[in-house]
Amino acid sequence: MPSSRSKRMFLALSCALIVAAPAHAGEEMRAGGKLLLTNGISTVDGAAGGGLASWALIAGNETVDGIGGSVHATYVPLSDYSLSSAGAAIGIRDRLELSYAHQRFDTQKTGVALGLGRGFIFSQDIIGAKLRIAGDAVTDQDSAMPQIAVGVQYHIAARDAVIHAIGGAHDTGTDFYVSATKVLLAQSLVLGATVRLTKANQFGLLGFGGDADDHYSPQFEGSAGLLVTRRLLLGGEYRSKPNNLTFAKEDDALDAFAAYALTPNLTATAAYVDLGDIATVRNQRGALLSIQASF
């Protein structure tokens, strides 16, 4: 379950920034307005993007005149493990995003082989903020300028005793990233790239930094999608990850996905994912299934 400290921090930050959101006297706050799928889906980290890669897009269906948001639930069954994520995000005037996600990583029967016990659970809470600083991915069609955003994510991992036993240096960590996203309507393309400074081991579930390396390293996230119809986006993603632990090599992640807008407020996503070797167990491949409701 999410820690009470994480929930209090997210709620307090959300309330403060909503109250502080700029508004002119008498200005109407309008709900909705974005084109289908141009708010992205929720990543496993909680930020708007693809299933794996963060995008510069802001969560929610709001435009610059409103406040929106989203909630998501994601399940990733793999060969020997499973990962689940649930969370929410708030978008303010299509400029600022606040997000929260809770992840659970179930070792299933593999936990016995790892000496942890069957069904041992790793978990973490992720609190994020993203700010659009330039461009508009959709409206700037006459310009090559993408939408650019900067973001930060604070991770709080559970199982600190196990994390330290396997060589992890910290059970909390902060990621910093910059993303660029462009929607090319004439070509029906969505393109995105992110550079992330991180120490995270397996997205942070196995802590941050380690006995092999305890320094921030730049990692790349890339995505490309084709809008087959106004409701269906097909594409793929790649996300590199650092190698900080000596006991197990960490592989990069990739997926091939299909996101379908069932309604303007409901999006379903299915993907094939390859997370490589995880904690000495090889070839962790499977599916990603996600549902997102937005307003």
User: pTM for this structure?
Assistant: 0.87
Q: How far apart are CA 97 and CA 281, in angstroms?
A: 36
Torsion, Cα 61 66 67 73, to 10 degrees, reads 0
pLDDT at 282 over 80: yes
- How much of the chain, in percent, has pLDDT values that exceed 90? 82
- In which region does residue 52 sit, left (phi positive, over 0), alpha (psi from -120 to 50) or beta (all else)? alpha
Cβ-Cβ contacts under 8 Å for 287 (sequence gap 6 or more): 76, 77, 270, 271, 272, 273
Strands 232-239 and 253-263: antiparallel
Contact 58, 67 (CB under 8 A): no
pLDDT, the chain, mean: 90
138-152 confidence digits (pLDDT tens): 999 999 999 999 999
- Domains of the chain in sequence order: 4-19+29-294 (2.40.160.40)
Q: For residue 127, what is the enclosing H or E element?
A: strand 121-134
- What pLDDT, on the 0 to 100 scale, is given for residue 5? 53
- What pLDDT, on the 0 to 100 scale, is given for residue 16? 41
- Token pair in block for residue 30: 């309008």
- What pLDDT, on the 0 to 100 scale, is given for residue 276? 95
- What pLDDT, on the 0 to 100 scale, is given for residue 65? 87
Contact 96, 123 (CB under 8 A): no
